[in-house]
Structure 1
Amino acid sequence: MNQHQDLATAMASADNQPRSTFEALCALARQAVGARLFTLMTFDARSRGAQRIFSSMPDAYPELGTKPLNETWWSDHVLDGHKTFVANDIGAIAEVFPDHELIASIGCESVINVPIVINGKVCGTINCLDAAGHYTPERVAASDALKLPGAAAFLLNKSISSGSVL
């Protein structure tokens, strides 16, 4: 099976949700663009709060409660502008992420943050981190293929956390 089929199968299952869907989305992202570290963050437009809801390295980047958003040009670009952010060296990462030393310590020096936009608002981001220079223009273009599966995964998570039935 390909990664899209694996994601569809994971989403259809009632077992271990939303984690099984997040793990399948991680596998899809690793195939599409590559990611040593893969995380999912939700954003609340009203409170401007963020929450990590999945991490492929939970020891370094645990799934935690909500935190206030660090308002920078990054938030203008990604959350308000709905544009993918790419940094291909640790210096560029350090400009916007205060945890740049931790990022470097796990062997990551490039990042791509793909905003997931639903109904005109960013509900979260898919975050892939890898070695310096990893996110080439071709990989950045390929990241667009993560938007629809990402939206489905975020909607599933919202449905589960609100207790609603799809």
Structure 2
Amino acid sequence: MPARDFTTLLRDMSELTEIRAVTALRYLDGGAERIFSSHPQVFAATGFKRFSDAPTMARVHETKAPVVSDGAEAIHAGFSDGQRILDLGADAIANLPVRRGDGRVVGQLNVMGRVGAFPPSVLGGLQTLADAYSACFETAGHEEGAQCD
């Protein structure tokens, strides 16, 4: 099996749909630690984000289910950095919970693309990939290229 890291995950997800950007968050008490960004110059790759400040992230955490936001209006309504998202040419986001094999949700992926990029068939494939990479959300070092097998 090939090495698992966020770069490989991004490549694997890109085989399912066009992706403009991805961020990864590891759940902690009260919020999530940013552990990866495909565009760190736009979206921080480190830091902490509180559930109280991020309603969409909180919803994914609470429901343990994906949330898809389609269209500029939905992006502006759901994300404080909505304009930065739109400036990347992304007008849709799939926020995916990341589940370990035992079902415990350990984080989430925010996958940014174009409206219509996340129909149920694609969303199912993205969710399967997100879950397959759950070890990346529990590994300590997250520098670029770090493996998380």
What range is the shorter-chain TM-score in?
A: 0.7 to 0.9
Corresponding residue number in structure 1 for 2:145: none
Provide structure 1 residue ranges, at least 5 long, that are not aligned to the other structure: 1-7, 12-20
Corresponding residue number in structure 1 for 2:79: 97
Corresponding residue number in structure 2 for 1:152: 135
What amino acid sits opposite 1:10 in the alignment?
A
The SS at the match of 2:89 is coil
Of structures 1 and 2, the larger Rg is shown by 1
Match of 1:143 among 126, 135, 146: 126
Within the alignment, does 1:125 sit opposite 2:104 as a pair? no
Match of 1:106 among 71, 81, 88: 88
The SS at the match of 1:10 is coil
Alpha carbon RMSD of aligned pairs, Å?
A: 2.2
What amino acid sits opposite 1:108 in the alignment?
A
Say if 1:54 and 1:75 are closer, same or farther in 2 by CA, change over 3 A. Answer: closer
The SS at the match of 2:116 is coil
The SS at the match of 1:29 is helix
- How far apart are residue 139 of structure 1 and its match? 1.4
CA distance in 2, matches of 1:24, 1:63: 17
Say if 1:120 and 1:9 are closer, same or farther in 2 by CA, change over 3 A. Answer: closer
Runs of 4+ in structure 1 over 3 Å off = 118-121
CA distance in 2, matches of 1:38, 1:99: 14
Provide structure 2 residue ranges, at least 5 long, that are not aligned to the other structure: 143-148
Corresponding residue number in structure 1 for 2:21: 37
Say if 1:99 and 1:81 are closer, same or farther in 2 by CA, change over 3 A. Answer: same
- How far apart are residue 121 of structure 1 and its match? 4.0
- How far apart are residue 96 of structure 1 and its match? 1.6
Tell me if structure 2 keeps the 8 A contact 1:33–1:140: no
Q: Which structure's relative contact order is higher, taking Cα pairs within 8 Å and 6+ residues apart?
A: 2
Corresponding residue number in structure 2 for 1:10: 3
What amino acid sits opposite 1:38 in the alignment?
V
CA distance in 1, matches of 2:18, 2:87: 18
Aligned sequence identity (%): 24
- How far apart are residue 130 of structure 1 and its match? 1.0
Match of 1:134 among 117, 133, 141: 117
Tell me if structure 1 keeps the 8 A contact 2:57–2:95: no
The structure carrying a bigger helix percent of its residues is 1
TM-score, normalised to structure 2, is: 0.81
- How far apart are residue 120 of structure 1 and its match? 5.1
CA distance in 2, matches of 1:71, 1:56: 20
